[in-house]
A = this chain, B = another copy of it.
Amino acid sequence: MSTVYEEFGRTRQKARTRSQLIAATRALIAAGTASPTVEQAAEAASVSRTTAYRYFPSQKALLIAAHPEIQTSSLLPDEPGDDPVTRLALAIEKFVDLVLESEGQQRTMLRLSLESDATDLPLRQGRAIGWFVDALAPLEPRLGKADIYRLAVAIRSAVGIESLVWLTDIAGLSREEAARQLRWTAQAMLAHALAEGLP
């Protein structure tokens, strides 16, 4: 049980098997299989089903691990200016594009987050809040940090994949119409916050 053994020995093997499984799962999803079977993922990774379950306790865990994370601290371009309306418009534009690009994945994650297996993993962490806080930063002298955060939360709650799904699946809007609607909603909320304040 030497430390060296654990840290530099088989650990590499374990990490490799794990990433093989994740890569294989991503490939299957990209190839059109919305929710690959654990067996499918294992086979695609040239690994036995048993081993796959050793790394991920459930199909849900595997799918979550295969979910590509967006590593950006800001959605804004280089020179976004100081106008919060413009900044929010830019951020929302980019955000909606991101959601549309990975709509399938987003839907899968939304579905998984609703499956009440107590198996709660680091799922759906709400990165968009930070992006919108960033876009609204110039409002700080006016609203204060707490209200900016609350406004960012409020906006995100109204313009995420959840609303997009409803607009397209239930209301029957096209993806373009739905995207336009989400952008309008965000601006409406900012405008109302500026005119009347938050609740």
Chain A interface size band reads 35 or more
List, in ascending order, chain B residues with CB within 8 A of A193's CB: 188
Contact A170 B115 (CB under 8 A): no
Bound CA span A39–B51, Å: 32
Residue from A163, A170, A198 having most chain B Cβ neighbours under 10 A: A170
Contact A184 B198 (CB under 8 A): yes
Contact B126 A153 (CB under 8 A): no
The binding surface of chain A is classed by DSSP as: helix
List, in ascending order, chain B residues with CB within 8 A of A184's CB: 154, 192, 198-199
Bound CA span A185–B191, Å: 11
Q: Would you give the 0/1 interface string for A88-121, flagging 1 where the beta carbon is closer than 8 Å to chain B?
A: 0000000000000000000100110111100000
Q: Taking beta carbons and an 8 Å cutoff, which residues of A are in contact with B?
A: 34, 107, 110-111, 113-116, 124-126, 129, 153-154, 156-160, 162-163, 165-167, 169-171, 173, 180-181, 183-185, 187-189, 191-193, 195-196, 198-199
Known contacts A158-B159, A158-B163, A181-B199, then 13 further A-B pairs from the complex at CB < 8 Å, ordered by chain A residue: A113-B165, A113-B169, A113-B170, A153-B167, A153-B171, A153-B173, A153-B181, A156-B166, A157-B166, A162-B162, A162-B166, A180-B199, A188-B188
